[in-house]
């Protein structure tokens, strides 16, 4: 099993949710986050003071999938959220040792 963590533009959340639903991808966690990468934000002027706004509003999505689904899900994410502009985000893939469905006690891929 792998955890796929994607940091994306906020306006891409709804299209990605729809694409996940159409592809039968379930079990997603979503958080609003602030961060910066190569984009570094922008300079703003507030009451005569120059301020570097370098923390951009992003959405973090986490899903856990079977190993054989990782490439398909990553390709889906890229297809839906890519604009070609700086700030499209990143995808991180991490190993998951186990999963337990609390209600039934099932473990492993079947618990996803």
Q: For residues 6 and 70, give the distance between their C-alpha atoms in angstroms, rounded to a whole number.
A: 12
CA distances from 8 to 64, 98, 99 (A): 17, 26, 25
Q: For residues 56 and 111, give the distance between their C-alpha atoms in angstroms, rounded to a whole number.
A: 35
Q: What is the pLDDT of residues 32-44, one digit of tens each?
A: 998 877 766 667 7
Q: What is the pLDDT of residues 89-99, one digit of tens each?
A: 999 999 999 99
Domain boundaries, the chain: 2-28+62-111
Residues of the chain under the 70 pLDDT cut: 39-42
Q: For residues 9 and 82, give the distance between their C-alpha atoms in angstroms, rounded to a whole number.
A: 9
pTM of the predicted model as reported, rounded to 2 decimal places: 0.84
CATH architecture type of domain 2-28+62-111: 2-Layer Sandwich (3.30)
């Amino acid at each position: 099993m792998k955890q796929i963590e994607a940091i994306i533009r906020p306006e891409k959340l709804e299209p990605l949710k729809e694409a996940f639903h159409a592809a039968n991808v379930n079990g997603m966690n979503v958080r609003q986050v602030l961060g910066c990468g190569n984009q570094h934000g922008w300079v703003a002027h507030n009451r005569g003071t120059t301020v570097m706004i370098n923390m951009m509003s992003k959405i973090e999505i986490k899903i856990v999938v079977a190993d054989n689904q990782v490439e398909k899900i990553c390709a889906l994410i890229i297809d839906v959220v890519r604009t070609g502009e700086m700030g499209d985000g990143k995808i991180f893939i991490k190993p998951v040792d186990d999963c337990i469905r609390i209600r039934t006690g099932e473990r492993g891929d079947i618990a996803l």
